């Protein structure tokens, strides 16, 4: 797990809390900000997933080259 995945999950969670808080207190602006944070968090988490996949491919290729 890399820092983008962790930060993305945290941002998504904060956004969920902010959205729910906005719903409870009847503040559509807070709800929207929460949804925006969730989208941002999920995007960052996906970026982390891609970075992790690239790292795994790189490591596998390096191991294959060493085996030759």
Q: pLDDT per residue over 37-54, tens digit each?
A: 999 999 999 999 999 999
* Six-digit token string for 4: 């983008």
Cβ atoms of 4 and 45 closer than 8 Å = yes
Average of pLDDT values for 11-28? Answer: 98
Helix axes 3-25, 28-67, angle to 10 degrees: 160
Question: Which pLDDT belongs to residue 15?
Answer: 98
d(CA 9, CA 13): 6
Sign of the Cα pseudo-torsion (16, 17, 22, 23, in order): positive
The full set of domain ranges for the chain reads 3-67
E strand or H helix at 59: helix 28-67
């Amino acid at each position: 797990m890399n820092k983008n995945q962790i930060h993305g999950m945290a941002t998504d969670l904060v956004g969920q809390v902010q959205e729910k808080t906005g719903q409870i207190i009847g503040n559509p602006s807070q709800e929207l900000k929460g949804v925006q944070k969730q989208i941002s968090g999920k995007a960052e988490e996906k970026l982390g997933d891609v970075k992790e996949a690239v790292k795994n491919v790189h490591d596998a290729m390096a191991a294959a080259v060493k085996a030759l």
